[in-house]
Amino acid sequence: MARISPFKAWRYAPDLVPVTRVVTQPYDKITPEMQERYYEANPHNLVRIILGKRLPGDGETENVYTRAAASFRDWRQSGVLRQDPEPALYSYSQTFAVPGTTPGSPAQAKRRGFIAAGRLEDYSAGVVFRHELTHSGPKVDRLNLLRATRAHFGQIFMLYNGSGETDALLQSAAIPDIEVTDELGVAHRVWKISDPAAIAAVQAQMQDQKLIIADGHHRYETALAYRDERRAAAPGSGDAPYDSVMMTLVNMNNPGLVILPTHRVVHGLPSFSEAELLAGARRFFNVEEMDAGIDAVRATSILAQAGRAGTALLAATAHHTLLMHLPKALGTNLFAGLSLRQQSLDVVQLHKCLLEGVLKISEEAVRNLQNISYHREASDALAQVHTGKAQAAFLMNPVRIEQMRDIAFAGDVMPQKSTDFYPKLLSGLTIYALD
C-alpha cells in the first residue's frame, strides 16, 4: 500500500530571486564545471546546499554540511524561501526534446507526474522496489547532509502502474506556479494542488500501488537510515515528517517516459588485443563485421534494428566495428547467481560475457571506474576510440520499461548505470523540511 500525503513545501520567492538561476540538476549529475556555474549564477543557488564547495580549513565545526544548514536557515529567515500556507500536492510536467532522435521522430515529448510526501517503506514490505544496487560512499555524504539540514531538496523519482486517472485528477488550466527552462532546454512546470477532494482522490488511486525507484536509490536508502536514527532516538513518536520522503510519482505507462542507453568505453587495459576481443565475442555471440568508420547515427540505427529480435551490442575498436547479437547458449558459469530475467538483459550480457569474460575487467574495477567510463551519447563513445583515447566502445540499446519493471518486482537488480531516465527532476522546485 503506497501512502502519499500533501505537504507544505518551501519554495523560492519569485519576487526576490529568479527561479531559473537557483534550481539545479540532481546533485549526482553536477560536474565541477556545473558547480562553478551554479555558484556564479546566484548567491542563493541551491548548489550551496546540496553540493557545496569543500574548503581547506574544513573541520568538525565548519564544513560543507554546517554551511549548507546555515544557508537553509538563513534563506528561510530572510524570506528567500517561503513555505506554502496549506498542504498540497504539486503537479509536475516536463516538456523536452528526446536526445538522439532521428529525422522524422517527434520533436518533443511530455512527461507528467506529481510531487508528494511518500511514506518510507523497507524493501521487505513489498511496497517500494529498487532496480539497482547502491554504494556506501554517496549514502554517507547524503546522510551527513540530511542530518545537518533536516530537509529534502530533490525528489525521489518513483514509478507506478496507472491508467492515467491520477494524471487526469491533477490537470490544471491555471498558469503554473513555477515555470523554468533548464540548461538542457527542458521546460519544467509545477502547479500547486491544494483542493482536499482532489488530494483525497489521488491518495485513493495510489493506495494499492507498488512503487519502483527510477532514480534516487542512494537518497531513498539515506532517508530510510535517517528515519531509523530518529525513531531510535524517540521511540513511539508516531507518524513523523521523517517517516516520509519527497517523491515525484510518474505513471510508467506515460508515453513521455524515456529511458536512454548508457554506453560503455574501455580504456587503460595493459594487455588489450583487438584480435582477442573479436575471438571472444564470437564465443558468446553471432558476430557481423561492420564498417570500421561507422558514425553514431548509423550505429544506433543498426543496433535498434537488430535489437528487435533480442540482445544486440555494437563494439568499436581502432580497426573493427562488430555487431554482436543472438547470444549463444554455452552453459557458462559467468551467469551464476543471476536469474533468467537478468541474463536476458543486454547490459548483463555485455558485463558478464565481454567485460568480465573476455577483457577480464572485474566487478570491483567496474564499480571503481578503473577501466571503464560511461557515455550517454554514442558519438562521444565512438570519438573516444577514434581519437585513440580509449581501446573499445560498447554501444547498447536502452533497457525497456517492461524489463526494468519485471526485474524490480522479482526482487532482482541490474548493473549500475543500466537505466538513464531522461530528463532528470530539477532540485529546488519544492523543498520538504522535516522540522
The domains of the chain are located at: 4-258+422-433, 262-397
Mean pLDDT by 10 residues, the chain (435 residues): 96 97 96 97 98 93 97 98 98 92 65 97 97 82 97 98 91 94 96 97 96 96 96 85 98 94 96 94 94 92 94 96 87 82 93 94 87 94 95 96 96 91 97 96
Q: Which residue has the cell 574544513?
A: 58
> Is residue 406 a contact partner of residue 118, using CB atoms and an 8 Å limit?
no
Tally of CA atoms within 13 A in the half-sphere of 328 that contains its CB: 12
Distance CA 224, CA 133 (A): 15
Per-residue DSSP letter, 19: G
Cα 202 to Cα 93, 116, 117, 127, 259: the distances in Å are 17, 10, 13, 17, 26
Its pTM stands at 0.93
Please report how the helices 217-233 and 136-149 are oriented relative to each other, as an axis angle in degrees rounded to 10. 50
pLDDT value at residue 330: 57
CA angle at 124 for the pair 253 and 206, rounded to the nearest 5°: 35
Q: How far apart are the first and last CA of the chain?
A: 26
Chain centroid, CA 241 distance in Å? 24
Long-range contacts from 325-331, C-beta under 8 angstroms, 24+ separation: 325/285, 325/286, 325/288, 326/285, 326/286, 327/284, 327/285, 327/353, 328/283, 328/284, 328/285, 328/286, 330/283, 330/284
What pLDDT does residue 103 have? 47
| Helix (H) or strand (E) run with residue 346 in it | helix 346-349
pLDDT score, position 130: 96
pLDDT for res 416: 84
Alpha-carbon span 387 to 100, nearest angstrom:
21
CA distance 355 to 362: 8
Residue 95 has phi, psi (to 5 degrees) of: -115, 130
Q: Which CATH architecture has domain 262-397?
A: 2-Layer Sandwich (3.30)
Number of continuous H segments (helices) and E segments (strands) in the chain: 14, 21
Looking at residue 105, its pLDDT comes to: 52
